[in-house]
Amino acid sequence: MKEWLGLSAAELGRRIGTQEIDPIDLVRCYLDAIEAHPFRDRIYARVTHDRAMAEAAAASRRAKAGLRLSPLDGVPISWKDLFDSAGVATEAGTPYFQGRVPSQDAAVLAHATGMGLVCLGKTHMTEIAFSGLGLNPNTATPPCVNDHDAVAGGSSSGAATSVAFGLAAAAVGSDTGGSVRVPAAWNDLVGLKTTHGLLPLTGVVPLCKTFDTVGPLCRTVEDAVLMLAALGGPKVDLQGASVCGRRFAVLTTIAGEDLRDGPASAFGEAAQKLREAGAEIVEIGFEPMRRAFQLAGGLYTADAYAYWRDIIEADPSKMYHQILTRIRPGGQVLAADYIAGWAELESIRRDWAQATAGFDAVVLPTTPILPPNAARLETDGDYFVAENLLALRNTRVGNLMGGCSLTLPTGVPSCGLSVNMGPGQDGHLLRLGAAVEKVLVQ
């Protein structure tokens, strides 16, 4: 049964469908693995044993009756601790929400439950989701699967590690500036940043409502496709996907600058594999991207501070000082500057769409750095700030440009390749991502 922990969510679903695996046995296997794992309390904030077993029993009955609700009916997954769960604390990684117990599930959790997915529990995260590193001295800091002394990436840190360490078949996180893709890349997973608005945010503790998105972290693109459908997104057919004849742009402006040796080498090798498979790779510059990054600080912090201001200022000492320092400048952003900033960003998005119109996708190194050391991040403030900005730099391209983005493992530990498309192209992105995945794993 232990071998089940290394299978993809899709494969587990198929074996449940053939009755080779009973969901009750599968969920019990995962719960036992969680309880026995040395990093259990650094990955899971809360494990929902009773809910998981009840949902597994229902899935078992459906499987035996031939009445399964979806390809993932009976498959156990984890949820980042900002998705409301009825009767179970949802604390968003912050002391401000300690003991906060919602009365109903978030919309995406309710939809996934309706598709038969089993909720294993809630995973740790960066405080209020406002960092790409995954460090959280107030709750817990999950370790990177490739270096236990390093951070796992954030803010969906526990989501990624629950899958990477074999403690969930897949996970659900959120992505505002890279919070699905950074931890997915650093833990050798597939991570999908959906188009803003594709999946509902009802019942999701917000960071920046204008940028927040919901997305899965999984072992394969097939898993991401099935998870997206289970969350209420579109169904995607992956058959026949190929990179042959496809044109990929490589953004050199910002995203290609100052890459550390590991990510740079991994990206170069991945790009060469795509060329050998028949794809065309073209480097492009886009100088307006620099202005978009200049606008980002005000747009993000103003949005975040608008929601969190009263909660934080009632007792600022509760918040981890690095997060507090990052969010408070949002209170100084003028309304006129915020509105004008969004108007300018929308103009840059239109120019970006025109500049990339001749390409099937834009590919980037998911992050320009490898996972930093957790202890140093806690003790060296300048190091924290510098590494956090770098961790989120390349992923933020997708958020600022309003598109969808998929990170894939390159085969080099903690080095991902991101495939980016425009808004609303999530289905096309996953099809192309499946083709890229085949090339990279050869």
Q: What does the DSSP assignment read for 406-431?
A: EEEE-SSTT-EEEEEE-TT-HHHHHH
Active-site residue (options: 80, 122, 193, 273):
80
The residues, ordered by sequence, that sit 6+ positions from 276 with a Cβ below 8 Å of its Cβ are none
Q: Which residue has the tokens 């806690």?
A: 378
CA dihedral 214, 219, 223, 225 (to 10 degrees): 50
Separation CA 211–CA 372 (nearest Å): 25
Separation CA 233–CA 326 (nearest Å): 32
Active-site residue (options: 85, 155, 157, 418):
155
- The question of whether 273 is a catalytic residue gets the answer no
What phi and psi values does residue 48 have, to the nearest 5 degrees? -95, 70
- Strands 76-80 and 118-123 come out as parallel
- The question of whether 317 is a catalytic residue gets the answer no
Indicate the angle between helix axes 49-65 and 9-17, nearest 10 degrees. Answer: 50
Active-site residue (options: 156, 179, 405, 418):
179
Cα atoms in the Cβ-side hemisphere of radius 13 Å centred on 203? 21
- The question of whether 80 is a catalytic residue gets the answer yes
Which residues carry out catalysis? Answer: 80, 155, 179
